[in-house]
Amino acid sequence: DHDHHHDEHEPHGCCGHGHDHDHAEHVHTHDHEDSTSGVAFSLLVLLIPLLVATAYSQDRFSSDYVAKWGKIERQMMQKRIADSRNAAGKSPDAPVTNPYTREGIESAEGVASTGTPAAGQPDTPPEPDAKAAEAWGTFTMEDLKKMVPQNDKGEFLLDVPQIFYTAGDKELMDVMEGIPVETTAQLMEETLNNPNNTRLKAFRLFIECCAADARPLSVPVDFGQAPPDYTEMGWYKLYGKLHYAKENDEIIPMIRIERIESTTEPTDGLLF
């Protein structure tokens, strides 16, 4: 006989040893790893589309966007013309604001004065001479030459928006019909009215208040035959004669092209 005793075995845990540590430590570690991977995944979801868009999108409006805006602007222009005609029919004596006339220039410069008359002068101004008033309100070729610069060949340097907004003003159209012009613009396919496939669209981006408000204004350019090879959305100097055509009951300003020259994008790519 011998004296012996068996020590009671310590209870084993699931890890094969006594539980002298807290499982909370493991839980905390796994939660931290899950959180980090979740943030990384979220960043990838946000960054991948941004990087792809940056790599493949072009720093300009698409041709579809320009075409849609061109149609909208033309419709708006025709509505302004119709509204102007209706207003003239209701009140034929109402003055029409024209920024190209002498009256418009002087009004903008604040030449007209509403101050108190000086001592010895009558409160009521004398009646204007009828002939002088008629001559004063008529826009002439001389007025155009004073206001619009010309190149060494005598062609008027007009931007597309300037040409666009002359439509519907009879006084301007009477003087500017057939004048030689030079303009710089981007070219693209004309899809609105091109029955003989002889036209392209010349457009520029125009800003009224801020860059977010930029929108393309366009006029058709007619070559009289199939247009020459050109780069879609490329920049060109266009030379030709300005005409106003009535098509589908709409007044359309257009340039009948005599020659074009490829050029670089001007520093003032956006017109104000």
pLDDT band at 82 (very low <50, low <70, confident <90, very high): low
Q: Is residue 16, in this structure, part of any structural domain at all?
A: no
Residue-wise pLDDT for 234-255, tens only, equals 999 999 999 999 988 889 999 9
- Give the integer Cα–Cα distance in Å for 266 and 107: 32
- What is the pLDDT, as a whole number, of residue 193? 86
Pick the residue with more confidence: 1 or 200? Answer: 200
Q: Is residue 50, in this structure, part of any structural domain at all?
A: yes
Indicate whether 48 and 174 sit together in one domain: no
Q: Report the CATH number that the domain containing residue 168 is assigned in CATH.
A: 2.40.50.140
Closest CA to 243 of 165, 173, 157: 173
Indicate whether 197 and 67 sit together in one domain: yes
- What is the pLDDT, as a whole number, of residue 207? 79
Q: Is residue 100, in this structure, part of any structural domain at all?
A: no
- What is the pLDDT, as a whole number, of residue 153? 96
Q: Cβ(190)–Cβ(254) under 8 Å?
A: no
- What is the pLDDT, as a whole number, of residue 190? 94
- What is the pLDDT, as a whole number, of residue 222? 98
- What is the pLDDT, as a whole number, of residue 271? 52
Give the Cβ contact number of residue 127 at 10 Å.
7
Pick the residue with more confidence: 205 or 99? Answer: 205
Q: Is residue 7, in this structure, part of any structural domain at all?
A: no
Of the candidate ranges 74-78, 87-91, 194-198, the one whose mean pLDDT is the lowest: 74-78
Whole-prediction pTM = 0.56
Give the Cβ contact number of residue 144 at 10 Å.
17
Q: Transcribe 165-201 into DSSP letters.
A: TTTT-HHHHHHHTT-EEEEEEEEEE--SS-TTS-EEE
Q: What's the CA dihedral at 173, 178, 183, 189 to 10 degrees? A: 90
Residue 224, pLDDT > 80, answer yes
Indicate whether 187 and 222 sit together in one domain: yes
- What is the pLDDT, as a whole number, of residue 264? 95
Closest CA to 181 of 200, 201, 162: 162
Count how many domains the chain has. 2
Q: Is residue 159, in this structure, part of any structural domain at all?
A: yes
- What is the pLDDT, as a whole number, of residue 28? 52
Residue-wise pLDDT for 89-100, tens only, equals 654 444 444 544
Q: Is residue 264, in this structure, part of any structural domain at all?
A: yes
pLDDT band at 109 (very low <50, low <70, confident <90, very high): low
CA distances from 176 to 152, 162, 265 (A): 19, 12, 27
pLDDT band at 261 (very low <50, low <70, confident <90, very high): very high
Give me the mean pLDDT over the 133-153 stretch. Answer: 84
**Which residues constitute the domain of residue 183?**
63-90+140-271
Please classify residue 203 by burial: count the beta carbons closer than 10 Å to its beta carbon, then call 0-12 exposed, 13-18 middle and 19+ buried: buried
- Give the integer Cα–Cα distance in Å for 187 and 173: 24
Q: Transcribe 117-180 into DSSP letters.
A: PPTTS-SSPPPPPHHHHHHHT---HHHHHHHS-B-TTS-EE--HHHHHTTTT-HHHHHHHTT-E
Indicate whether 81 and 30 sit together in one domain: no
Residue 78, pLDDT > 60, answer no
pLDDT band at 144 (very low <50, low <70, confident <90, very high): very high
Sign of the alpha-carbon dihedral angle for 118, 121, 127, 133: negative
Q: CB-based contacts of 87: which residues, under 8 Å, 6+ apart?
A: 94
